[in-house]
Amino acid sequence: LTAAAGPLRDDGPSTSPCARSDVVARLRAAGCVFAEDEAEMLVAAARTPAELSSLVGRRVAGLPLEHVLGWADFCGLRVTLEPGVFVPRRRSEFLVRRAADLLRRSSAEAGEDQGASWTVVDLCCGSGAVGAALMAAEPRIELHAVDTDPAAVRCARRNVGTGARVYVGDLYAPLPARLRGRVDVVVANAPYVPRREIELLPPEARVHEPAAALDGGEDGLDVIRRIAAGASAWLAPGGHLLAETSERQGPSAARAFAHHALHARVARSKGSGATVVVGARPTPPYTGPTRSPSG
């Protein structure tokens, strides 16, 4: 994981309190709610006063803080971001925790040795934040990640490092055929905003993130339904699909999972307000030899 997303550092130069308070004032005047915190990060990122002025100018013009800095904090990792790539949201850390829990539980139940590894697919990977965080939590993962956006794939390749494969393409299409029926976990934070609600999003998302990263069609579940439809062909028996949705969409998404032969349930995190729909591919009934009553 040499080139992968690294832990957070605070390595900016010291700046005079005066410059810092100017930055806070400019951010506040531009309507930044967390002006103090943002000023701290911008000051830490700038190597010269001219660079600080340029960073503040871009933030005041409305660019998301993470695009100005070139990184986002996700699960304690510094995830590299290019402009125009979806900024990973803190609520998606719940998706990572649920997936990591499932992997640990299935390995404990199977009594697997320390050398065993899991095959994980991160669909609609964006910057690769979810996959990178899963690899950091569980190093014994063979990760494959997919996104249609070449800029996102460039970021993902940097964030997941050389131990993982990242493909450009539509959902399962670019995955190697050898993974069919062998994937332990598919994670997906796919676009799920209902189309008519996109105009209600804050400008940071509406203006600076691509529509393809947000637009989930009429009810927001178009991409998630396609993911559910393809899952059984790629999951190993007993494997899981986990998809983030809004709380309101959870039950409809679970029905879509069930329609595609997955045992589905909805998991919610009260703390972060996140919802994850979890579907399991059933294990086939045992068809081997049975003992006769006489032994």
Ligand X SMILES: C[S@@+](CC[C@H](N)C(=O)[O-])C[C@H]1O[C@@H](n2cnc3c(N)ncnc32)[C@H](O)[C@@H]1O
Locate all alpha helices (DSSP H) within the chain, ordered by sequence.
Answer: 17-29, 35-45, 49-60, 65-69, 93-110, 129-137, 150-160, 203-208, 211-214, 222-234, 250-259
The answer to whether residue 68 forms part of the interface with ligand X (CB under 6 A) is: no
Range 268-287, binding ligand X (CB under 6 A) = none
Which residues does 108 contact at the CB level (< 8 Å), separation at least 6? Answer: none
Any idea what DSSP says for residue 215? B
Determine which residue in the list 27, 102, 120, 152 makes contact with ligand X, applying CB under 6 A.
152
Q: Which stretch binds ligand X (CB under 6 A): 39-47, 103-111, 188-196, 261-269?
A: 188-196
Tally of CB atoms within 10 A around 150? 8
Determine which residue in the list 146, 166, 264, 274 makes contact with ligand X, applying CB under 6 A.
146
Angstrom distance (rounded) from CA 204 to CA 206: 6
DSSP for 245-261, written as a single string: E-TTTHHHHHHHHHHTT
Closest CA to 71 of 57, 85, 53: 85
Range 15-44, binding ligand X (CB under 6 A) = none
Determine which residue in the list 23, 27, 64, 86 makes contact with ligand X, applying CB under 6 A.
86
Shortest spacing between CB 177 and ligand X, in angstroms: 18
Nearer to ligand X, 88 or 279 (CB): 88
The full length of the chain comes to: 295
The answer to whether residue 138 forms part of the interface with ligand X (CB under 6 A) is: no
Determine which residue in the list 129, 164, 224, 256 makes contact with ligand X, applying CB under 6 A.
129
Q: Which residue is nearest to ligand X (CB)?
A: 126
The answer to whether residue 242 forms part of the interface with ligand X (CB under 6 A) is: no
Site of interaction with ligand X (CB under 6 A): 86, 88, 92, 124-127, 129-130, 146-149, 152, 170-171, 189-191, 212-213, 223
